[in-house]
Amino acid sequence: MQTATYDPAVARAFFMSAGTPADIAEGKKIFGEKERAIPLLRAQKVYLLLKGEVGLVNRKQPIARVRPGEIFGEMALISGAPRSASAIANTACRVIELDAKQFETALARKPEFAVMLMSVMIHRLRETIAQLKDQNAFSKDEEWHEAAAIRPAHLAELVSGIADDTPSHFGEGARILAEGQKGLRMYAVLEGRVRISIAGRVVERLGPGGVFGEIALVDPSEKRVADAVADTDASLLPITRDAFLTLVKMSPRFAHTILVSLAERLRFLTARLG
């Protein structure tokens, strides 16, 4: 998952702010494929590799190697989904691990990591969408279930005093965003419903609390990846890039919500790759 947007120094500062290094013996399974969190017994964790090498295995087949400075296990912790692969220590390793509570603590202390991780996930989203278009996968008539990300009242409280924009109203059928547009704002749904489409096919429906358009704010040099249309009459709260970055810095809960939203989208689209 590491790309040109990934900075190992930022990741190390983030993990060190809430965790401590630990050693893992060669050959030890760090986590297993399809493993879920079990309340009071097993928590999902995300890891930063400081020393050694970790192998990721799916259906007994090696799929990737993690090297020092890289993170792994983040998707399951962020989205709450089962592990998509097993992680095995190929050599003696030294890692820093964070559970969900520690992860949120670190977000409050080092919010720049959240923006970096969003950028990395968006890079993967764009690559996945390009592959799906090449495969003509968007011709399949499938949809997401309705997704809600954050309580509108809580979001309004956070944005109050940060953004000058007032809620925008869109009638049923009105286009809100267009694929290929330059993005200036993201939106949170206050009332009504919005449908998100890629290449003409609906991939997500959002009700109150849903957020969309954040991809263009995290990655402002790129264009919109999807269309957004009002499924019903809708009231939306616009959020500028400056307000978005301020929210990420002042509210780890908001940052975590955006990471969850991106992780769910990436997991949904990746599952459709042939």
Over the stretch 98-151, which tens digit does the pLDDT of each residue have? 999 999 999 999 999 999 999 999 888 888 888 888 888 776 656 555 555 677
* pLDDT at site 274: 59
* pLDDT at site 253: 87
Domain final residue pick, 76, 108, 140: 108
The answer to the question of residue 17 being in a domain is yes
Write down the pTM of the prediction.
Answer: 0.87
By percentage, how much of the chain surpasses pLDDT 70? 93
Statement to judge: residues 160 and 228 lie in one domain: yes
The answer to the question of residue 3 being in a domain is no
Domain final residue pick, 49, 83, 108: 108
The answer to the question of residue 184 being in a domain is yes
Statement to judge: residues 79 and 126 lie in one domain: no
What average pLDDT is seen over the chain? Answer: 88
SS3 assignment for the chain: CCCCCCCHHHHHHHHHCCCCEEEECCCCEEECCCCCCECCCECCEEEEEEECCEEEEECCEEEEEECCCCEECHHHHHHCCCCCCEEEECCCEEEEEEEHHHHHHHHHHCHHHHHHHHHHHHHHHHHHHHHHHHCCHHHCCCCCCEECCCCHHHHHHHHCCCCCCCCEEECCCCEEECCCCECCEEEEEEECCEEEEECCEEEEEECCCCEECHHHHHCCCCECCCEEEECCCEEEEEEEHHHHHHHHHHCHHHHHHHHHHHHHHHHHHHCCCC
Statement to judge: residues 242 and 117 lie in one domain: yes
The answer to the question of residue 1 being in a domain is no
Statement to judge: residues 249 and 184 lie in one domain: yes
The answer to the question of residue 147 being in a domain is yes
Domain final residue pick, 64, 87, 108: 108
Over the stretch 158-192, which tens digit does the pLDDT of each residue have? 777 777 788 999 999 999 999 988 888 899 998 99
Statement to judge: residues 97 and 186 lie in one domain: no
130 — alpha (psi -120 to 50), left (phi > 0) or beta? alpha
Statement to judge: residues 101 and 142 lie in one domain: no
Q: Is 9 a residue whose pLDDT tops 60?
A: yes
- Show the tokens assigned to 174: 């009105």
The answer to the question of residue 183 being in a domain is yes
Count: domains in the chain: 2
Statement to judge: residues 68 and 165 lie in one domain: no
* pLDDT at site 184: 85
Taking the alpha carbons of 132, 133, 139, 143 in that order, is the dihedral positive or negative? positive
The answer to the question of residue 193 being in a domain is yes
What CATH number does residue 88 fall under?
Answer: 2.60.120.10
Statement to judge: residues 215 and 129 lie in one domain: yes
Over the stretch 20-68, which tens digit does the pLDDT of each residue have? 999 999 999 999 999 988 887 788 999 999 999 999 999 889 999 999 9
Residue 27: domain span: 8-108
